[in-house]
Structure 1
């Protein structure tokens, strides 16, 4: 019995070390719930799912109407990401509903939603809450008679070859952008519905757009009224980065993720360039890396400030003190943290409004620093770093510090600016003495 107790105590003493050794030190979401309309999508879209698994993700496949669906257990989320490949589902199974999906995102988790022709109201409502509005016509598709993919049959020009990518190497990878700039990138094949970005939502952004000649309509019927979505206003794939850094990807085509379009060759109408493989796989893979925080994720550590010549952080500053401020910023590369290098990180010394705004210098190794003089205003100030850059998670750092005036014994004995007052005081005393002498001794 005594040996058992000793063994138990030893195990409990090492339990924190064991837990720390298995705790992830990276921001990448690792467990993802995939909701499908049909399990056949596991095989028809296997390349996309396999790519996620090869990058270390654990995928849990379920039918969208499964009664056992649940995102939480005992108040804790069981998944880090959600992939909705169920465009026709009118209602999720179990306790999952629209509010649960939005709460999942509001808690900082990531979402990929793919709609399709005849997308359900549930999928449309989720997208609308994220700032994306699909075409109201349930049978509408994106049609482009100029930038369609050439095929053996003429077709209705709903298979679009788009190369209108967002110019961001953070979202699409630096290698992809170099290929794109050299005009060697294969277009992305898209067949589905278009959407527009809600002007009231400044967090949504188009990453794959349609050409100016595209429009959204029913390909099986003649146009009786002008299309509601036309030209470059049509977005094929959009992303949203919420203020809590949760990331969302919304696509209007489920086929875009399929093995068939991944492997399909592509030739854009009017172009002599013919590619043996479309750009779908590379585009979707690189964008999914961004969505699941494998790229563009920043963290700030070691926020410090102190007086010049000192190392300890003071409890308060005095007006006109010289101080130094520093912070270290790192970026997740997918495997480890690397120094983030930029020249646009700024710090504010803030009270109601910024009294000091300084651009931080960097040593190219992740350290950002600056020095400045405390303003001649006392009160409660904040060191604030609000960093927002396209494709990167936002940084919001704030550290409060009071600033006091000089104490009465810290001023100089004679202040230069007070000399007129000194002169007035002594001249008044001298005048009073002369007046008193004349009044007392003159007849």
Structure 2
């Protein structure tokens, strides 16, 4: 794709769409990671990235992708909390691992990083295709990095991403994001002049993927899919970078900062929220009822905290929302906050009875809870009394009139 392929994908829980599932009540980052490689040489060539994970408290288990003893779970329990696939050439995985097993691993709430390159196998492309489409080499004749290889415009210097001190070096394939995936985000994009094609053949027709539609990397449960394995390499970390058309030269690329922040996100060291102490009750009361009645005034509150890397801190935002829904949302409210982690709001229970999320029954008024005479029902009262009066008059006339 013409986009530098780095994509983020995340799963969310229902009541608060911004909250992700918490793996541990104490720390969401104290986890084991399985790293699958084509060759153990990658362990050395990408050591800076791996060491940064170790220094942040992760336990890495390195294995070759074709290891016959590979296993993600045993006796019904998962052995790892996250998976890194730095094995772009692997046609198949050992130990019976396949596409279905990896997708099941992700669907069960575990994290995944996929690093691909121009030699990406069908297996790696199929994994990436679950959230978009992997394409050919990304070429950019305007935003390439100046290098010793004259005319090589596949080494791209991109600054179309989160703020960084220097451009990021990218060399690999692009990725288009599936428009139907509302949880996918492009975190590294190509310039409008980029396109995806084979650099060794003539371009006889317009490329199917071009411009900023090309993702250089992308992110889901949480997942990162990168079209460049070199993006995480020591060589790119230490390389100086000068963007074509610019006189400014950076001593080091922004790759290390970029991948560090990206890995903090995917492994829940940042942007990880937890909701605790959810409570709701009728206005003016304190006890949570077994059910609500239609048109009741309801108070809802929840405490939200964010993991800072070392401890849980109050989360402060102005766009946290709560949904009260049955099949579809009936109430969508933005919560107020005391800026100490407590979010709250009040709303009226809809005039529809059934079982609503947050799993609370809503019942109609009982017969003795209505007003004795309802104004809107006066026409029906009149019709009823006039019918009775008419029947009485008819009976008198019929019985006594000769």
Same topology, TM > 0.5: yes
Equivalent-residue separation in structure 2 for 1:87 and 1:423 (angstroms): 79
Equivalent-residue separation in structure 2 for 1:284 and 1:78 (angstroms): 25
SS in 1 for 2:106: helix
Q: In the alignment, which of 144, 147, 153 is matched to residue 157 of structure 1? A: 153
SS in 2 for 1:194: strand
Equivalent-residue separation in structure 1 for 2:275 and 2:248 (angstroms): 45
| 120-129 or 314-323: bigger deviation | 314-323
Equivalent residue number for residue 317 of structure 2: 342
Deviations 1:363-383 (A, max 9, x none): 112212122333455x22424
Equivalent residue number for residue 97 of structure 1: 98
Q: CA deviation at 1:418?
A: 6.6
Q: Is the 8 A contact 2:131 2:177 kept in 1?
A: no
Q: CA deviation at 1:85?
A: 0.7
Q: Is the 8 A contact 1:144 1:160 kept in 2?
A: yes
Equivalent-residue separation in structure 2 for 1:113 and 1:28 (angstroms): 19
1:208 matched to 2:198: no
1:272 matched to 2:247: yes
Equivalent residue number for residue 380 of structure 1: 354
Q: Is the 8 A contact 2:29 2:57 kept in 1?
A: no
Q: In the alignment, which of 151, 157, 169 is matched to residue 189 of structure 1? A: 169
Q: CA deviation at 1:121?
A: 1.3
Q: Is the 8 A contact 2:132 2:175 kept in 1?
A: no
Q: CA deviation at 1:225?
A: 4.0
Equivalent-residue separation in structure 2 for 1:380 and 1:24 (angstroms): 33
Structure 2 unaligned runs (5+)?
1-23
Q: CA deviation at 1:163?
A: 0.8
Q: Is the 8 A contact 2:241 2:251 kept in 1?
A: yes
Q: CA deviation at 1:116?
A: 1.1
Deviations 1:308-347 (A, max 9, x none): 2221111223344333221222222222222222222333
Q: Is the 8 A contact 2:291 2:360 kept in 1?
A: no
Equivalent-residue separation in structure 2 for 1:159 and 1:80 (angstroms): 33
Equivalent-residue separation in structure 2 for 1:264 and 1:309 (angstroms): 64
Equivalent-residue separation in structure 2 for 1:125 and 1:422 (angstroms): 71
Q: CA deviation at 1:413?
A: 5.8
Equivalent-residue separation in structure 1 for 2:144 and 2:112 (angstroms): 29
Q: CA deviation at 1:76?
A: 1.1
In the alignment of these two chains, the number of paired residues is: 373
Residues 270/376 of structure 1: CA separation in 2 closer, same or farther (3 Å cut): closer
Deviations 1:407-427 (A, max 9, x none): 42x45566666778499969x
Equivalent-residue separation in structure 1 for 2:286 and 2:293 (angstroms): 16
Equivalent residue number for residue 54 of structure 2: 53
Q: In the alignment, which of 360, 365, 373 is matched to residue 400 of structure 1? A: 360
Q: CA deviation at 1:217?
A: 2.8
Q: CA deviation at 1:276?
A: 0.8
| 204-213 or 58-67: bigger deviation | 204-213
Residues 355/161 of structure 1: CA separation in 2 closer, same or farther (3 Å cut): closer
| 55-64 or 145-154: bigger deviation | 145-154
Q: CA deviation at 1:205?
A: 2.5
Bigger Rg, which one: 1
1:236 matched to 2:216: yes
Equivalent residue number for residue 44 of structure 1: 45
Equivalent residue number for residue 260 of structure 2: 285
Structure 1 unaligned runs (5+)?
1-22, 136-140, 166-171, 384-397
Q: Is the 8 A contact 1:294 1:333 kept in 2?
A: yes
Q: Could you say what the CA RMSD is over the residues aligned between the two structures, in angstroms?
A: 2.9
